[in-house]
């Protein structure tokens, strides 16, 4: 007798494996900008990468459906897989962000913060708002990492609200006897009274 496979463990395994792929994909474009800076070519590649993200997520979800769910999946399962997929991808990116902000360029956040204040001053924003922002402490690398991880989870949940519908594929044998669902398909009414009883 074959051991019963836990579908939740299967989902976590596929989400972890495919989250590594998605995390590596996002990290590639992030590192590309770190290495070569901001220019037309890098911006174009990042735009292409951003547009390609939903297509990659769709392919990963479809592979999970075909390889982990025997080719069939409902909306809730597809959506929850997407959330876990982005959680694991976010963990990969959390390591990249932390290494960058903690050791490679510790002044990155301070420089970005100052550039933002200068841009607000050039756009003649309210000085009180600028003064309030300037007095706000700069987040630590850990705080930034946690914030980005939260954004990845929320972003994945919203993205898969749209993608899950394209991945859904119903099992045509669902509800049939012997399929393990415990449901009985609809049967039309049949009069079980014998003809002898009718004539009696």
**Which residue ranges in the chain fall short of pLDDT 70?**
1-3, 175-200
pLDDT 10s digits, 70-118: 999 999 999 999 999 999 999 999 999 999 999 999 999 999 889 988 9
Task: Enumerate the domain spans of the chain.
Answer: 7-170
Q: Please, are residues 87 and 152 in contact by the beta-carbon 8 Å criterion? A: yes
Long-range CB pairs of 73-78, under 8 A, 24+ apart, other chains included: 73/167, 73/168, 73/169, 74/168, 74/170, 75/164, 75/165, 75/168, 77/11, 78/160, 78/163, 78/164, 78/167, 78/168
Give me the pLDDT at residue 199, please. 52
Backbone angles phi, psi at 170, to 5 degrees: -80, 145
Q: What is the predicted pLDDT for the residue at 106?
A: 94
pLDDT of residue 188: 47
pTM of the model: 0.84
Give the pLDDT of residue 108: 92
Q: Which of 83, 46, 72 is nearest to 167 (CA)?
A: 72
Residue-level pLDDT at 180: 45
Q: Which run of H or E residues covers position 160?
A: helix 141-167
């Amino acid at each position: 007798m074959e051991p019963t496979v836990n579908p939740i463990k299967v989902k976590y395994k596929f989400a972890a494996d495919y989250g590594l792929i998605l995390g590596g994909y996002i990290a590639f474009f992030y590192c590309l900008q770190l290495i070569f800076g901001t220019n037309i070519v890098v911006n174009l590649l990042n735009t292409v990468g951003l547009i390609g993200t939903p297509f990659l997520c769709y392919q990963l979800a479809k592979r999970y459906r075909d390889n982990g769910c025997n080719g069939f999946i409902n909306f809730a399962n597809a959506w929850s897989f997407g959330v876990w997929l982005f959680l694991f991808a976010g963990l990969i990116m959390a390591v990249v962000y932390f290494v960058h902000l903690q050791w490679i360029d510790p002044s990155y956040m301070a420089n970005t913060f100052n550039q933002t204040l200068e841009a607000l001053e050039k756009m003649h924003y309210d000085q009180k708002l600028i003064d309030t922002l300037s007095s706000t402490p700069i987040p630590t690398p850990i705080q930034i990492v946690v914030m980005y991880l939260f954004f990845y989870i929320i972003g994945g949940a919203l993205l898969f609200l749209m993608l899950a519908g394209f991945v859904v594929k119903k099992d045509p044998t669902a509800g049939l006897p012997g399929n393990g669902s415990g449901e009985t398909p609809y049967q039309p009414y049949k009069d079980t009274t014998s003809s002898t009883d009718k004539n009696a």
